[in-house]
Structure 1
Amino acid sequence: MTTDNTVTGDTATGDTVTEEAVASLRSTADPRLRELLTGLIRHLHAFARETRLTQAEWERAIGFLTATGQTCTDTRQEFVLLSDVLGLSMLVETINADTVAGATESTVLGPFHMTESPARELGASIDLVGDGEPCVVSGRVLSRDGTPLPGALLDVWQADGHGFYDVQQPGIQPAGNGRGLFTADEEGRFRFRTCVPSPYPIPTDGPVGALLGATGRHPYRPAHIHFIASAEGHAPVTTHIFVAGSDHLDSDAVFAVKESLVQDFTETDDPSLAREFGVPNPFRHARFDLVLTPDRS
C-alpha cells in the first residue's frame, strides 16, 4: 500500500511522469513554444527509458552541460561547438535550407563568428600577419538568373595559416585578422587577399574535446573560408568554401562539407597578375561565384 504522496515503481517507469510533464505546458501562450517543449519532453523521456539511464549517468550529463556553459565566453561558444560535433547544427541547417538548383549551398555558421568583421576595400588583405601562403580570392555575387548583384555584402572570416582564429589568440594575432566585410562593385565582383587556409582542430581543451576523446573521434576540420553573402531582395546565404585536396574533406568533425562548396585554389605563376593583385608571385588563386536566391517573403 502507498500513500497519496508515494509513486509506485511501475508508475515511475511508465508514462505517467511524461504525461504530467506534458500536461504542465497546457497554459503556455506561445503555441510553437508549447510544441517544441512537448516534443523535447517526450523525446528526452523516451531516451531515458530506452537506455535505462542511471542516476550516475544523469548526474554526469548535468555536469557535462554545466561545464559546457562555464566554458563559454564572449569569444568562445562551446554550446555551438557541441551542437556542431553532434551533427545537430548541420541537421538544423539542412532542414531549413531553401535548396534551389543553381544557388550556392549553405552550411554551418561555426563557433567563431563571434566578433564584427571590419569593413575593408575590395582587394584589401584580411591576412594581417602575413605568415601563410599568399592567396587571392575573387568572384561575383549573382542572382540565380545570372544577374550581377551590385553592392552585395560579403562577411568573410577564416583561420590563419596555422589554423587559429583571431579570437583564439588575443595578444598574438591582431583583432580582426582573417576577417573582412566587403561590398561588391557595380558588376557584383569581389576580391580580397589572404593566406591559404589550413586544416585545423576545433578546440579540444574543453568539454567538447573531452567528448571527442571519449568517443575516439578526431577534432579536425578541412581547410575553408567562411562567407555570409547578402544582397537587397535576396535571401542571405551562410556558407564555406573548402580547399580542394585538403585533408579531412571526407571526415569533417562538424559534418559540414558539401561537394559543391569544394573549390580549387590554383597555383598561379603570372607576374603581371600578381602585381595587379598586390601579392608575391607565384600565388594561389580561388575563383568562384556566390549565387543568391530572390527573397520570396
Structure 2
Amino acid sequence: MTNDLTETSITEAVQRTFDGADDERVRELFVRLVQHLHDFAREVRLTGDEWFTAMEFLKRVGDISTPARQEFALLSDILGLSVLVDLINRERGTSTTESTLLGPFYVAGRPTAQNGSDISGGVAGVPLFFHGTVLDADGIPVAGARVDTWHSDGEGFYDVQMPEKLHGRLAMRALLTTDDQGRFWYRSVAPRYYPVPTDGPCGEILRAANRSPMRPEHLHFWFHAEGFEPLITMLFRSDDPYLERDAVFGLRHSLVVDFVHHEAGGTAPDGTRMAEPFQTVEWTFALARKEN
C-alpha cells in the first residue's frame, strides 16, 4: 500500500504520469510546467478561494474570446510572456530587422491587395502612404515576399472592434507581395495610440495593478518569403506620447520611425495632388535566411 500524497510528493507523482509520452519534448514541457506550477502554489501558499478565482478567471478569458477577440493572446501580452518568447527565440548578432509580438488583432482571412492600393476600406482619417523595401541580410532585394500589414484607425480602433460600423467588413489590413526590387507600398489612414481592451478579464488585471493600458501608435507587419525565416514586427511612431510606456512591452527602439507630416497641396508618393494634409512612412526591412 502506497503512502498518501503530501504537499511535496504530489509534484513527482504528477510528473511521472508523463513518462509514457511518445514525444520527448511534450514530456519535457509538461514535467517542467508541473514543477513551476506546484512551486508557485507552495511559495505563495495558494488558498482554495484564490484557486477558484483563478479557474473562474480563465473560464471568463475563454468565454470572451472569439476569432476577432483573442483574450488569451492579450493575457500573454500584458504578462510579458509574448515578448519573452520572442526574446528567447530571436536571432542574435545579425543585421536583420528586430521582431516583436503579434498582438491580438491579427486576422488570417485578410484581403489580398495590389501594391499601391488603398487598404483603408473606406475608413475616414488622415491619409497615410507607406513604402517598404524588403532585403536580405546582405542588402539583396527579396522579391515575392508576402507581407501582411494591419493597423488601427485614427481613433485607435481596429476593424474587428467596430463590426457594426463597418458592417462586418475588414479594413486597414491586407496581404501584399513585394516586386522584383523587394518593394511594397500602399495607401491607408494614419493610426493612433490606443488602450488594449479593458472590458474583459485582462482589464481587471491592469486595474488591479494600476497599470496603464495604452499602446503607442504603430503599424503591424508579418513577412513570409521562401528560404527566409518569418518575421513578425511593428513600426512605432517616433513622437508618440506612449512610446516608452507600452502596456504589452513590445517597443524596440530600432523600430521607431518618423511619420512625416505633409501640408495640404503637396504631392503624394503616388503622384496624387492632395487637398488635405497627409503622412508618409518609408522603411527598409531585412529578413534572415533559413539555415540549411
TM-score by length of 2: 0.94
Name the amino acid aligned to 1:150: A
Q: 1:167 aligns with which of 147, 151, 160?
A: 160
Name the amino acid aligned to 1:99: R
Secondary structure of the residue aligned to 2:163 is coil
Is the contact between residue 215 and residue 242 of structure 2 (CA under 8 Å) also seen in structure 1? yes
Offset of 1:205 from its aligned partner? 0.9
Q: 1:104 and 1:274 mapped to 2: Cα distance?
A: 24
Q: 1:75 aligns with which of 63, 68, 86?
A: 68
Aligned to 2:242: 248
Is the contact between residue 75 and residue 115 of structure 1 (CA under 8 Å) also seen in structure 2? no
Judging changes above 3 Å, is the alpha-carbon distance between structure 1 residues 179 and 30 closer, same or farther for their aligned structure 2 residues?
A: same
Q: 1:136 and 1:222 mapped to 2: Cα distance?
A: 19
Residues 1:282 and 2:277 aligned together: yes
Q: 1:31 and 1:262 mapped to 2: Cα distance?
A: 41
Q: 1:278 and 1:22 mapped to 2: Cα distance?
A: 67
Aligned to 2:180: 186
Offset of 1:217 from its aligned partner? 0.9
Residues 1:157 and 2:150 aligned together: yes
Q: Cα deviation per residue 1:17-48 (whole Å; 9 max; x = unaligned)? A: 11111112111111101100000000011101
Name the amino acid aligned to 1:155: D
Offset of 1:271 from its aligned partner? 2.6
Name the amino acid aligned to 1:116: G
Judging changes above 3 Å, is the alpha-carbon distance between structure 1 residues 275 and 191 closer, same or farther for their aligned structure 2 residues?
A: closer
Residues 1:26 and 2:8 aligned together: no
Name the amino acid aligned to 2:38: H
Offset of 1:76 from its aligned partner? 1.1
Aligned to 1:292: 287
Is the contact between residue 136 and residue 277 of structure 1 (CA under 8 Å) also seen in structure 2? no
Q: 2:267 and 2:201 mapped to 1: Cα distance?
A: 50
Residues 1:99 and 2:92 aligned together: yes
Offset of 1:12 from its aligned partner? 2.7
Judging changes above 3 Å, is the alpha-carbon distance between structure 1 residues 165 and 260 closer, same or farther for their aligned structure 2 residues?
A: same
Q: 1:50 and 1:226 mapped to 2: Cα distance?
A: 39
- Which consecutive residues of structure 2, in runs of 5 or more, have no partner in the other structure? none
Of residues 133-142 and 112-121 in structure 1, the stretch that sits farther from structure 2 once superposed is: 112-121
How many residues align structurally? 290
Q: Percent identity?
A: 41
Q: 1:107 and 1:277 mapped to 2: Cα distance?
A: 34
Q: 2:258 and 2:190 mapped to 1: Cα distance?
A: 11
Q: Cα deviation per residue 1:156-194 (whole Å; 9 max; x = unaligned)? A: 011111111111111212522010111111111111111
Is the contact between residue 128 and residue 280 of structure 2 (CA under 8 Å) also seen in structure 1? yes
Name the amino acid aligned to 1:242: F
Q: Cα deviation per residue 1:64-114 (whole Å; 9 max; x = unaligned)? A: 111111111121111111000000000011111123432111000111113
Q: 1:180 and 1:116 mapped to 2: Cα distance?
A: 9
Name the amino acid aligned to 2:172: G
Q: 1:155 and 1:278 mapped to 2: Cα distance?
A: 28
Secondary structure of the residue aligned to 1:67 is helix
Q: 2:27 and 2:267 mapped to 1: Cα distance?
A: 63
Is the contact between residue 134 and residue 280 of structure 1 (CA under 8 Å) also seen in structure 2? no
Cα root mean square deviation, aligned: 1.8
Q: 1:135 and 1:155 mapped to 2: Cα distance?
A: 17
Offset of 1:280 from its aligned partner? 4.2
**Greater radius of gyration (CA):** 1
Aligned to 1:259: 253
TM-score by length of 1: 0.92
Residues 1:272 and 2:267 aligned together: yes
